[in-house]
Amino acid sequence: MARLLTFFALAALASVAIFYYAGLDTYHTLSPQGCRMSWMWPSYILQSHFDHSWTPLARRYSLWLYREGNLENNELHGAPILFIPGNAGSSHQVRSIASSAANQYFSAPYQVAPDFANGDYKGLDFFAVEYNEDLSAFHGPTIDSQTAYAKAAIDYILSQYAPETSIIVMGHSMGGVVATALLPNPRISAIITMSTPHTLPPVRFDRRIDHIYTDNLHDLATDPTPLLSLCGGATDLMIPSESCILPYLSGDSNNSVYRRTVFTSALEGCWTGVGHLAMVWCHQVRWRVARAALEIAASPSPQIRSVALDHWLRDGHTLPPAHLPSDFLELRPGDYDTVPLNQHLLVRKPGGTRSYLLPVPLLDPEGGLTSAKFVLYASQGSIPPTSPHRPLPFRVNAYLCLDAETTCSPLAPEMLKLIPSPVVGAPFPTPDEGSDESEGVTLFEVEVSLVPRSHVAVRIESGDNQGWVFGGFADSEPVVAEVGLSQLLLSSIRVAIPNGIRTEVLLPKLPANALLVYRLIPRYDPDSSCSADTLLLPLLTHTSHPSETHYFPLAPTFPRHILLHTHASAPYITSKYREGHKLFIHSSGECWVDEIQLSVDWWASIGRWGSRYGTAAVCWAVGIMAIVFWDMWHLVENGAPLPDVEGSLEFFARKRLPGLTLASYFVSLLPLRVGLWLGNSGNSVFAPLAMLLLPISFGLVCVMWWLLVLLLWPLRRVLKRFSRHREDTVLRRPMGTLVSMGVILIVIFVVVPWQVAFLGCWLIHFYTCAAFLAELSVVQARHHSGGEGVPLAVLPSESAQDGDSPASERIMSQNMPSSPSARIPLAQQINAHLLVLLFMTWLLPLVAPVLAVWVRTLATAGFTTPFDGDHNFLYVAPFLVLVEILSGGDADRYLYALFERKGRVSPRWGFLALAGVAFFLGPRTTYFVFEAASAAFGWAAISRLGPFYWSGRSFWRRS
């Protein structure tokens, strides 16, 4: 291989390795997982009565009922829940959530726990569908089959309950897509999805999947069924979590339709990223999902079910319901203590009931401040209705007392949520353990007007000498840092942080995109105290989207880097949160962060690129091959010989790649819609990515050619040893060819998917290339031994010897024949064969996922299982024709007919159109690429090969 092509190939391999290892590191660095393992006593009961009388898919799938073996019997005793597994998932994944629900509802075998003994609570009957680990992410018709089976399963399950019974549906991964596709259904009471890509298919090789997503987005916008989406964040390496965020609902639907996205990093009491598979067994998640299901089952209306979801799966971005005390506070002498002005309230180990008055700071007319932020922390206690799941007994409420009044009114919080309280020197979250149900600090914030002689009263009730309460006033004005990405590209910036118990930092111009990760380094005041005795170490809260929050301890001994990342916007995702970050630092003021340093973390950022642009690299490689094919066709039409593959690639590298790389930058600046190009809608920040991706894609084309040469070598050697000399006489009978082709197309239409036929075409052509190479070796050997002379041309194995000279200078002296009766040299035929093989090889990744689905379906459901949706033989017909004509002894005449210059519009322009489709549409709607390739080859077959075939010029006998 020429040195230039070798350079691109090695650079591409190095880039892929960097993307791979940087992507793996994100699991441990961006949002590490801290999950406690869940345990259960599983028992599964096959629902044998749900047979083919309910659905013909009963022969392919099955339905199971879960039972916790040591707590409940096999009889139905509660509210039904249907669990739908995802891509390659199992019905057994229901066991963690179902076990938690049983252990919460029952305190002993068949004995209801006291928390559920009263009211309308009932146990839960967890059903789970078994899809035999179908690869649903790759194949839209498989999702349709799973949806149809789930609908029938719901009808069967509800037939065993009272007529007015409704069902809760839970879906993991692509199971959440199936669950959403069940809407509208008035008998579904709520849907909870876990790690589900709602807005962007993770694999986009099938047109039907896009249609399913379009229908689901319509249902999400209109159907009143409450739906909550749980997302694992950067820890989820299977799907990009920006696709897990439910789409924004505009207009009146915001008020009438409950849609909530909750990241586990913000989930109160969880505060950790969760991996894709861990989402169903992570204890900090599963028990909350189970408890929410118990509450939903006892809720009579969608509004109450929405309240239950918000209560048990809270992320703190919205206020909890009923967040005000129901009574006023009457102050009596001796019942309260007054905190000096401008001092903080600190109560360690509160006991009994006591009130505390904090004077509101004095009005500052010169500074223009008319209000201050009142902040209150309660460690492991409750500020009703927010508290840890297992709180200490004490409760805290805040009231506003105006002037000399003795009656104080409740303060309505602007923020009321649970935040973590990391331990000095310990990792956060704790690996393999995470947070406990009793951990956390309840945070209360409210803006208070600076009214003279007014107070904030803090009342602590039922203290048992555990925990602590801390509060005071903080500056309500945020620190605004007008920092742009350009300032961080090659250096870092520093932002001064004022001392206080609560500080807000706004970065309004900093891009908030999944492709960028920022490193934050805190600097501490040398006089501050950051020890284990510190009441509340500085805690950084990072928010860039209404649904996403991350927490980072700022203790000096914190063992890992602070990497700010987001899923607020991303390639191919429509978002209005494209810029802006909010940072909050909460502390007790003892450990003082006086400065933060911000920079771009390039290693972590690179780790985010590979998972989002892998498909784009494949599509762009097809686009590069289309341009190579277009250039080759142009040369041959003008009388040049058929160039070899390496010469064609080198011509592209020298003549096309520099200009295309520069042009890709300017195309990235165009305000294209989000589904085109690289999906960044003209954002100049990400324009250089195109200039990086294009050379890498070309390098991968070179690597693929390298692999094909290696794979062809052993087969070529075998065929050279054992094959006979190919006969020149080829009897092509039109009727026989048409009959055989018709039989193949009927088989595709009825039995096998067209993707299998394309794989067969590739295998046949691979063998054809090896056979031609073997024959050429035999002919060359005869020539060197004094046998019959043959016209020669530059071979793929020989072109490397001339690798230092441009391909344009290595054009062979033998031009294309001037008439169909002349022979195209065998070496030039091989050049065409190999270029077509390389082209078809890059189309293989576009059909491979459906091939995997087909093989998986046959292996799990049997050879008689129908495979719907992929029998359009028109997709593969052009390749069948091409492989057929190139495999015969008269292939040279067909090649002449193919590349003969005639007509006003050459079919080679179809390949230029294919390149445009691959570059602009392919990364988001990948299925268009193969369709365009089929159309391009089809145009060539119809306009050039068809007339030549029927003219009779191909049915001849060589003399």
Confidence of residue 915 (pLDDT cuts 50, 70, 90): very high
456: pLDDT strictly greater than 90: yes
- Give me 945's structure tokens: 């090969």
| CA–centroid distance for 216 within its chain | 17
User: Which residues 6+ apart lie within 8 Å of 765 measured at CB?
Assistant: 833, 836, 837, 840, 882, 883, 886, 887
Mean local confidence (pLDDT), 93-121: 91
Q: How far apart are CA 825 and CA 832, in angstroms?
A: 11
475: pLDDT strictly greater than 90: no
Q: Check residue 819 and give its pLDDT.
A: 52
801: pLDDT strictly greater than 50: no
Query: Which range, 120-124, 615-619, 753-757, has the best average confidence (pLDDT)?
Result: 615-619
Confidence of residue 797 (pLDDT cuts 50, 70, 90): very low
Q: How far apart are CA 497 and CA 738, in angstroms?
A: 79
Q: Check residue 794 and give its pLDDT.
A: 42
| CA–centroid distance for 74 within its chain | 38
740: pLDDT strictly greater than 80: no
**Which of the pair, 857 or 50, is modelled with greater confidence?**
50
- Give me 900's structure tokens: 């003969």
- Quick check: 479 and 495 in contact, CB under 8 A? yes
Q: How far apart are CA 260 and CA 248, in angstroms?
A: 10
742: pLDDT strictly greater than 90: no
**In this predicted structure, which of 110-114, 539-543, 637-641, 673-677 has the lowest mean pLDDT?**
637-641
Q: Check residue 803 and give its pLDDT.
A: 42
52: pLDDT strictly greater than 50: yes
- Quick check: 294 and 105 in contact, CB under 8 A? yes
30-50 pLDDT tens trace = 888 999 998 889 999 999 999
Q: How far apart are CA 237 and CA 173, in angstroms?
A: 12
Q: Check residue 728 and give its pLDDT.
A: 45
Q: Check residue 785 and give its pLDDT.
A: 61
Q: How far apart are CA 925 and CA 619, in angstroms?
A: 10
738: pLDDT strictly greater than 70: no
888: pLDDT strictly greater than 50: yes
410-444 pLDDT tens trace = 999 999 999 998 877 778 888 888 888 888 999 99
Helices assigned H by DSSP within 862-899:
877-886, 891-899
**In this predicted structure, which of 452-466, 547-561, 758-772, 789-803 has the lowest mean pLDDT?**
789-803
**Which of the pair, 527 or 926, is modelled with greater confidence?**
926
27: pLDDT strictly greater than 70: yes
121-146 pLDDT tens trace = 899 999 999 999 999 999 999 999 99
Q: Check residue 668 and give its pLDDT.
A: 95
Q: How far apart are CA 124 and CA 172, in angstroms?
A: 18
Q: How far apart are CA 690 and CA 697, in angstroms?
A: 10
Q: Check residue 355 and give its pLDDT.
A: 93
120: pLDDT strictly greater than 70: yes
CA-closest candidate to residue 275, choices 241, 248, 245, 246: 241
Mean local confidence (pLDDT), 386-415: 89
Identity (one letter) of the amino acid at 775? E
What pairing do the DSSP bridges indicate for beta strands 371-379 and 441-449?
antiparallel
Q: Check residue 392 and give its pLDDT.
A: 94
Q: Check residue 659 and give its pLDDT.
A: 96
User: Which residues 6+ apart lie within 8 Å of 866 measured at CB?
Assistant: none
808: pLDDT strictly greater than 60: no
Identity (one letter) of the amino acid at 110? Y
Mean local confidence (pLDDT), 94-106: 95
Q: 759-798 burial, b if ≥16 CB within 10 A, otherwise e?
A: bbbbebbbebbbbbbbbbbbbbeeeeeeeeeeebbbbbee
- Quick check: 386 and 320 in contact, CB under 8 A? yes
**In this predicted structure, which of 255-264, 609-618, 885-894 has the lowest mean pLDDT?**
885-894
**In this predicted structure, which of 14-23, 169-178, 435-444 has the lowest mean pLDDT?**
435-444
Confidence of residue 958 (pLDDT cuts 50, 70, 90): very low
Beta bridge partners of residue 541, listed in sequence order: 551, 584
3-state secondary structure of 59: helix
- Quick check: 801 and 2 in contact, CB under 8 A? no
- Quick check: 523 and 495 in contact, CB under 8 A? no
User: Which residues 6+ apart lie within 8 Å of 568 measured at CB?
Assistant: 242, 512, 513, 514, 544, 545, 548, 575, 577, 578
pTM above 0.85, yes or no: yes
CA-closest candidate to residue 126, choices 149, 148, 157, 163: 157
Q: Check residue 959 and give its pLDDT.
A: 38
Beta bridge partners of residue 227, listed in sequence order: 191, 259
Confidence of residue 155 (pLDDT cuts 50, 70, 90): very high
- Quick check: 98 and 275 in contact, CB under 8 A? no
Mean local confidence (pLDDT), 620-627: 97
374: pLDDT strictly greater than 80: yes
What pairing do the DSSP bridges indicate for beta strands 502-511 and 579-586?
antiparallel
Confidence of residue 641 (pLDDT cuts 50, 70, 90): confident
Q: Does the N-terminal peptide bond of residue 422 adopt cis geometry, omega within 30 degrees of 0? A: no
Q: Check residue 51 and give its pLDDT.
A: 94
777-796 pLDDT tens trace = 877 777 666 554 444 334 34
Q: Check residue 731 and give its pLDDT.
A: 47
655-712 pLDDT tens trace = 999 999 999 999 999 999 999 999 999 999 999 999 999 999 999 999 999 999 999 9
Q: Check residue 162 and give its pLDDT.
A: 92
Q: Check residue 256 and give its pLDDT.
A: 74
Q: Check residue 957 and give its pLDDT.
A: 41
The residue with tokens 């016209």 is: 791
548-597 pLDDT tens trace = 999 999 888 777 789 999 999 999 998 989 999 999 999 998 888 989 99
